[in-house]
Amino acid sequence: MKPLPLLILFLACAGCTNFPELEGREQPDVKSARYPKLIPLQENLGPPIDPVNEAAEVEEDLLARREALQKKSEELQNVEID
């Protein structure tokens, strides 16, 4: 049997499953609980980041790392082995 028909059969059988009723299972204080205070998302995230400046900083960091790795590789290649 191919995998696709088997998957479809499995999903069809899973769709026929009876789930237990959840009504009445919550704690009594849940229905009288207050909703949480909603705040604007921008207040939580802080000021927006400028993608151009962020990309420039990342590029500078990567270039510095590349130069350091190139320097280290040149030093390792020029080491005399006794």
Question: 14-55, pLDDT tens digit by residue?
Answer: 777 777 777 777 788 887 888 888 888 887 888 888 999 999
Residue that the structure tokens 């927006």 belong to: 48
Letter string b/e over residues 11-49, b meaning 16 or more CB atoms within 10 A of that residue's CB: eeeeeeeeeeeeeeeeeeeeeeeeeeeeeeeeeeeeeee
- Mean pLDDT value of segment 57-71: 97
Q: What is the pLDDT of residue 1?
A: 55
Residue that the structure tokens 């026929």 belong to: 16
Amino acid at 69: L
The angle subtended at Cα 29 by Cα 26 and Cα 33, nearest 5°, is: 110
For residue 73, name the pLDDT band (cuts at 50, 70, 90).
very high
- Tokens at residue 58, please? 């990342």
